[in-house]
Copies of this chain bind each other. A is one copy, B any other.
Amino acid sequence: MVKSVTYTALPGLPLVEPGDDLGNIIAEGVRRAEIVVADGDIFVIAQKIVSKAENRYVDLNEIVPSAQALELAKTVGKDPRHIEVVLSESTEVVRFRQNVMIVAHRLGFVMANAGIDESNIAHDDGKARVLLLPKDPDASGEMLRQQLQRTFGVKIGVIINDSFGRPWRNGVVGVAIGSAGIPSLQSMIGAPDLFNRAMRVTEIAIADELAAAASLVMGQAAEGLPVVHIRGFHSEAAHSPASVLARPKAQDMFR
């Protein structure tokens, strides 16, 4: 049997606004793409539209920067109110320099600017808004999974992805910040290799690999294809949320 996995971007999705029924928007996109959803299919959803539907906007005009934010702003060179919002979402500033602030997000992910981005956010109403990550992306994924399962009558998986920079390598890649109904991290401990010896590699970041592939299909810029349908990926591994991908600080050699 030939093993194939196909990633398809749902075309024609509308811009998402606070309070929108994202599950319904996705379901309509699926029908528009004439996809018949099957058991084991996975939907990858861009963080940005989940955050928008959940109204995770913060108006910078309502933010008073702390002394720490004002101090960091001198080096980083961003609006101190923006930095204040980043700090309020973070547990630790890991590195900072001009234009760069790497923090540990309260969700455990180490990332630039706590994932708070100003691109792809409309400024035409005169507000200075920034958009936070979903409050609990695994929970958001689980809610969307349940809604889509009710709609289509099959078992599916959901991933919420974002683009992260990395140490040591240029360029950003898609990663999973939330998931439901999939093995985000698969343990290979004890699995035999081709010559029946135990594998050295102990865990595979399945959700990050799916998220990266979906990110490519979404595109980054003006295309606006924030939902990707995956067909053909199967794993017998136990389901685990994306939060297990965050390495605890005590086990991390690089902060």
Contacts and interface: CB of A to CB of B under 8 A. Distances in A.
Interface of A: 1-9, 11, 15, 33, 95, 97, 100, 102, 109-110, 117-124, 163, 166-175, 185-186, 188, 191-197, 199-201, 203-206, 208-210, 212-213, 215-217, 220-222, 224-225, 233, 244-247, 252-255
A121 B195 CA distance: 7
A193 B254 contact: no
Contacts of A247: 167-170
A121 to B, nearest CB: 7
B169 A208 contact: yes
A120 B97 CA distance: 43
A255 B254 CA distance: 8
Nearest to A216: B209
B199 A119 contact: yes
B169 A175 contact: yes
A195 B95 CA distance: 30
Contact of A252 (B5, B168, B209, B225): B168
27 contacts: A1-B11, A2-B11, A2-B33, A4-B9, A4-B217, A5-B213, A6-B6, A7-B7, A7-B213, A109-B169, A120-B194, A121-B195, A123-B195, A124-B195, A166-B167, A167-B167, A169-B246, A171-B186, A171-B206, A171-B208, A173-B209, A188-B221, A209-B212, A209-B216, A210-B213, A213-B213, A213-B216
A204 B174 CA distance: 9
A210 B255 CA distance: 28
A167 B95 CA distance: 14
